[in-house]
């Protein structure tokens, strides 16, 4: 059972009450960039902008609805940030 | 080696090239809310708003810099969204 003990020992690094200890949030986007920050000027916004916070959008930094599939597949509850003009 | 084989088999559900298959993005925030969406009116924004996209901020939906610790601990590269007035 030596092999099994090694497996169990190393698995403690990965498992917790959730599936993993401290997982990444962004799995794929701009992995050559050490910190993905976006900045926009208020004056340049249209009537409504919907920004991705799940990091799964193909239109990142904008939302494409990918959070729905992500939430369904993982049991997560993330959603976008909406910046809009009143009465727009 | 039956036990080991069972471990290896079940571990395939969890492991991938990264630490886990399809981890959650939001580990703790508003878990009674099935989809955490925020909406703000442009007219109500000040000179600058910095919005959290790592879901680790104690000031969520605003950034408190928690992405720095998250990135360091996990090897991730997430950062906030900044909405600002020109020349602010």
- Is A19 within 8 Å of B18 when comparing Cβ atoms? no
Q: Which residues of A touch B81 (CB under 8 A)?
A: 37-40, 51, 61, 81
Q: Answer yes or no: pTM beyond 0.90.
A: no
Q: Does the complex come out with an ipTM higher than 0.90?
A: no
CB A45 within 8 A of CB A83: yes
Q: Which residues of B touch A70 (CB under 8 A)?
A: 22, 25
A24-84: CATH superfamily: CDGSH iron-sulfur domain, mitoNEET-type (3.40.5.90)
Q: Digits of tens for pLDDT over chain B (88 positions)?
A: 666 666 655 555 555 444 557 899 999 999 999 999 999 999 999 999 999 999 999 999 999 999 999 999 999 999 999 999 997 5
Give me the residue spans of the domains in chain A: 24-84
- Is B23 within 8 Å of A24 when comparing Cβ atoms? yes
d(CA A76, CA B6): 28
């Amino acid at each position: 059972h030596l092999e099994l003990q090694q497996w169990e020992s190393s698995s403690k690094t990965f498992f917790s009450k959730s599936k993993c200890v401290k997982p990444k949030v962004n799995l794929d986007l701009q992995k050559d960039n050490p910190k993905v920050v976006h900045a926009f000027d208020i004056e340049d916004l249209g009537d409504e902008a919907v920004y991705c916070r799940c990091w799964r959008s193909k239109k990142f930094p904008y939302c494409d609805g990918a959070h729905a599939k992500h939430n369904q597949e993982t049991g997560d509850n993330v959603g976008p940030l909406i910046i809009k003009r009143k009465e727009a």
